[in-house]
Amino acid sequence: MRSTPEGLSDQSLIRSLQEFTEDQGEVGAAGIDDRELATAAIDAVLSHVTALGIDSLLASEEQAVTVGRNLLDGLASDPDTADTVGSILDDPPVDNRMVTDSLVVSAAVLAAIVAWLQTKIDLKVHRKNGKTEVSLEIEKKPASDSLIKQLATTLWSMLTGGGGPGGGGPDQP
């Protein structure tokens, strides 16, 4: 019987997100090999629909777990990732550790978001002269603002369970 993200323990949720990320391939291939770069890439996408950054959604362990559940649920509904997530939820990984660290939850969520974004766009992040530059492309052409906004809206909806902090839309705190 297929599990749902809501039915998973926090530890199994984290392992499910990690397994999804591993199944999608090498996240570091886009030049995203640390939290700072992952956050910059995700914020670059979200900036098309909200001034809030991903860190505001992952501020506490409880928030990060909720976002992780919302994300896994959204990944299960996305046509590009539904089969992979369905297989994971058919036989969810078991993790019996009693402690869940907020950094571990956040890292799993960030990596899964980047892995999902890479199913939609060619995402490249570079550090240059102390600044982080993010480029978003589709089939070797820069992605249009409307397409990125649509992608950002979908991502925001997945992360927030269809709403946003305080129950508002993406532009409302």
The count of domains in the chain is 1
Q: For residue 170, is it within any domain?
A: no
CA-closest candidate to residue 85, choices 99, 74, 96: 74
pLDDT for 99 beyond 70: no
Higher pLDDT, 96 or 37: 37
pLDDT at 44: 87
pLDDT at 98: 57
CA-closest candidate to residue 93, choices 21, 23, 15: 15
pLDDT for 59 beyond 50: yes
The stretch 99-116 carries a mean pLDDT of 83
CA-closest candidate to residue 17, choices 155, 113, 101: 113
Domain that holds residue 35: 5-159
Residue spans of alpha helices (H) in the chain: 10-24, 35-46, 54-57, 61-77, 82-90, 102-120, 145-160
**Sign of the torsion angle spanned by Cα atoms 117, 114, 98, 103:** negative
pLDDT at 165: 38
Q: For residue 99, is it within any domain?
A: yes
